[in-house]
Amino acid sequence: MNVSELNPASELIEPDYSEFIPAMDRRRMSKVIKMAIACSIDCLKQAGLDQPDGIIVGTSMGCCVHTKNFLDKIIGANDGPLSPTSFIVSTHNTIAGQISLLLKNHGYNITHTQNSLSFEQALMDGILCIQNGYSNVLIGGADEEEDTIYNMKARLNDETIHLTHGASFFILSGKAASPASVNLIDVGSFGLINNPSKIIMRFLDSNNLSSEEIDLVLYANTEHKKTDELKMIFGQKKIFDYQKISGTYYTNSAFAMNYGIDILRLRSHPVFGNSIGKVLVCNNLIPENLGLILIDNKNQLG
C-alpha cells in the first residue's frame, strides 16, 4: 500500500455525496458536513450497524465556510432582510447534529473544539462511553478549508504549510468485531506543555512500553527541533511525517490514525517494514499542544 505524497495541485478525493445524502438535505451542507456524513454512513456499513450509541466529533474550525458566508450576508444585507440558512448551520456541532438527524439517532452527541487536540479529546470521550457501557460509538475528526476568516499559517507560524481538509471516522467498540479490528490502547491530550519528549516517554511508560516496542510513529509538527527529538527517541527509520500525505488541518491526526490502522491491518509496509504491531500517532501540530494515540493489532480474537 503506497500512498503518494501531496503536491501543490493535490485535491480532496471525494465520493459522490448524492449516494449518501438526499438532495433536500445536501443543499444546506457545507463540505465538512458532507464529508463527515459520507464517512459516518460508510463506517456504520462496514461495522454492520444501523445506529451507534453515541456520536462524537472533533472539529477545530467547525462549519467555518457557513460562518464566513453569514458574515458576508450581514455585510450585503446592509440592515435589510437577512437570509438565515448559513447562520443556522454554522455552529460547530452542526456536523454531529446533522449525522444524528440523518440517522434519527437519539444517543449521546458531543463536539470537541480544542484546535489540534479536538480529535484526541473526541477519542478520549469515546473511551469513556465504552467504559460506561456503550457498545458502539461513532467518532470522527473533520475540518474544512477556509482561509479568509482564520489565518492558520499565522497561527502555526509557518507560511510553508499546505492547507487542506478532510474527515476520518471510526466505530469504537468494546469488543473486537473481526480479526481486522485494531486495538485503541490509549489516548492522551496535553495542552500548554513545553517538553513533549518527556510527556511521550511518560505516556509509553504508563502503558508499560519502551520506545523500542513502537514500530511506527506517525507525527506532525512545525518545528525541526521536535523532529530531531523524535529521531532520538524512536530512531530515524520509524518516524513518518503524516502531513506529507494529509496536508495540514487541525484534525489531521484522525487521518493519521486511519492510516496507522490500515498499516496495522496489513502488518507491513513497503517503506516502514514488516511486523508492524504498534503504531503511535504523535500530534505536535501546535507546538504547545501534544496529542498521542496508541494503537496495536494484537488480535483480541486470538
Partner 1 sequence: MRFIDSNLISDMQDLKYELKKQIIQELNLQDIKPEDIIDDAPLFGDGLGLDSIDALELVVLMEKYHGVKILDETVGKKVLASINTMAEYIVEENSKKT
Partner 2 sequence: MKIFVTGIGVVSAIGLNAEENLCSLRSGVTGIRRSSVYNLMLGEVKLCNEQLIQLLNLPNEDFSRTTLLSILAAKEAWGKNKIVDDIRTGIISSTSVGGLDRIEKYYFESQTNKSSESYKLMTHDNGRTTERVAAELGVSGYIGTISTACSSGANAIMQGARLIEANKLDRVIVGGCDPLAIFDIKGFSSLNIYDQEICKPFDESRKGLNLGEGAAFLVLENDQSISITDNTPLCLLSGWDNATDAFHQTASSANGKGARLAMINALAKANITSEKINYVNAHGTGTGNNDLSESIALKTVFGDNIPPFSSTKGFTGHTLAAAGAIEAVYCVQAIRSQTILPNLNFSTPMTETGMIPEKTFRPGTQIEYVLSNSFGFGGNCTCLIFGKAN
Query: Contact positions toward partner 1, by CB under 8 A?
Result: 23-24, 26-28, 80-85, 88
Asked if residues 139 and 172 have their Cβ atoms less than 8 Å apart, the reply is: yes
Measure Cα distances from 292 to 124, 191, 209, 256 in Å. 11, 12, 14, 11
CB of 121 to partner 1, least distance (A): 30
Residue with Cβ nearer partner 1 (35 or 139): 35
CB of 134 to partner 2, least distance (A): 12
Measure Cα distances from 253 to 8, 23, 29, 300 in Å. 21, 31, 24, 25
CB of 92 to partner 1, least distance (A): 19
The partner in contact with residue 208, picked from partner 2, partner 1, none with C-beta cut-offs of 5 to 8 angstroms by kind, is none
Give residue for cell 490502522.
Answer: 261
Residue with Cβ nearer partner 2 (88 or 163): 88
Residue with Cβ nearer partner 2 (118 or 297): 118
The partner in contact with residue 101, picked from partner 2, partner 1, none with C-beta cut-offs of 5 to 8 angstroms by kind, is partner 2
Residue with Cβ nearer partner 2 (3 or 88): 88
The closest alpha carbon to 183, from 134, 130, 220, belongs to 130
196-206 and 224-234 helices cross at what angle (nearest 10)? 30
The closest alpha carbon to 143, from 249, 283, 30, belongs to 249
H-run or E-run covering 217: strand 216-221
Listed ranges 39-47, 53-61, 229-237, 258-266: which one lies at the site for partner 2 (CB under 8 A): 53-61
Alpha-carbon span 287 to 15, nearest angstrom: 34
* Chosen residue from 30, 40, 69, 105 binding partner 2 by CB under 8 A: 105
CB of 73 to partner 1, least distance (A): 10
Contact residues toward partner 2 (CB under 8 A) are 55, 60-62, 67-68, 70-71, 74-75, 77, 82-84, 87-94, 96-98, 100-101, 103-115, 117-118, 121, 124-125, 128, 131-132, 148-152, 154-155, 189-193, 250, 288
